[in-house]
Structure 1
């Protein structure tokens, strides 16, 4: 299993999205595809992903910009990054 697969499988979807939004952001199709390839682990289905995205936008954790979702004004670094849990 590669590092991205480990992160998607072992971490909360909120933390995964925060991690992916931290630099250049991630488009919704790429995010949807990432969870689809991992059998919607920890998220259920695309509707739950859309609901989570909306909640994260409402909370200011992420925002839409550029080519997709980027860091919002209330963005925080995911715990697994601060703990250096994975070699990235």
Structure 2
């Protein structure tokens, strides 16, 4: 299993999205595809992903910008990054 698969499988969807939004961001189709390839682990389905993204935007954790979702004004570093849990 590669590192990205481990992160998607073992971490909360909120932390995964925070991690992916931290630099250049991630588009919705790429994010949807990432969870689809991993059988919607920890999220359920596309509708739950959309609801989570809306909630994260409302909380200011992420925002839409450029070509997708980027850091919002209340963005925080995911715990697995601060703990250096994975070699990235």
Range into which the TM-score falls when normalised by the shorter chain: over 0.9
Per-residue deviation, residues 5-49 of structure 1 (Å, max 9, x unmatched): 000000000000000000000000000000000000000000000
Cα deviation, 1:32-73, whole Å, max 9, x if unaligned, reads 000000000000000000000000000000000000000000
How many residues align structurally?
Answer: 88
Structure 2: give runs of 5+ residues left out of the alignment: none
| Stretches of 4+ aligned residues off by more than 2 angstroms | none
In structure 1, C-alpha distance between the alignment counterparts of 2:19 and 2:13, rounded to whole Å = 10
Q: Report the counterpart of residue 12 of structure 1 in structure 2.
A: 12
TM-score by length of 1: 1.00
User: Normalised by the size of structure 2, how large is the TM-score?
Assistant: 1.00
- 2: CA distance between counterparts of 1:81 and 1:23? 14
